[in-house]
C-alpha cells in the first residue's frame, strides 16, 4: 500500500467511526496530527492501528509510538513487515 492509499484508508476509517467529523476530513493532509485536531481519541487511534495492521499485513509497534507520531505520514512510517 502506498502512502496515498494509506491516507485514504485512514480518512475512510475516521469517516466510518466518527461520521460527525466528515467536514473536518476535507482539510486534513498527511501531516495533520489526528489526536491534536480531535479527529481520533487515544482509544480510536489504537483501533486505527489494529485496522491498519489487518488491512496492510504490516505491524505497528504501539510501544514505539511517541507523542509526535499521530499524523498519517508518521503512522505510515511506523509500518513494519510482520515476521
List, in order, residues 6 or more apart from 39 with CB less than 8 Å away: 14, 18, 21, 24, 25, 28, 32
pLDDT tens string, the chain, 83 residues long: the values are: 788 888 889 888 988 888 777 666 667 788 888 888 888 888 998 899 899 889 988 888 888 888 788 888 888 887 776 54
| Measured distance CA(26)–CA(10) in Å, rounded | 13
- Domain assignment of residue 39, given as a range: 3-81
What is the count of structural domains for the chain?
A: 1
Grid coordinates belonging to 64: 514505539
CATH classification of the domain holding 57: 1.10.1200.10
Grid coordinates belonging to 18: 466518527
| Measured distance CA(40)–CA(47) in Å, rounded | 10
Amino acid at each position: 500500500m502506498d502512502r496515498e492509499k494509506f491516507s485514504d484508508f485512514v480518512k475512510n476509517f475516521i469517516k466510518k467511526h466518527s461520521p460527525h467529523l466528515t467536514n473536518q476530513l476535507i482539510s486534513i493532509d498527511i501531516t495533520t496530527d489526528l489526536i491534536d485536531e480531535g479527529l481520533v481519541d487515544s482509544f480510536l487511534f489504537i483501533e486505527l492501528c489494529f485496522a491498519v495492521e489487518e488491512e496492510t499485513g504490516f505491524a505497528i509497534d504501539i510501544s514505539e509510538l511517541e507523542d509526535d507520531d499521530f499524523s498519517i505520514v508518521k503512522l505510515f512510517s511506523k509500518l513494519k513487515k510482520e515476521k
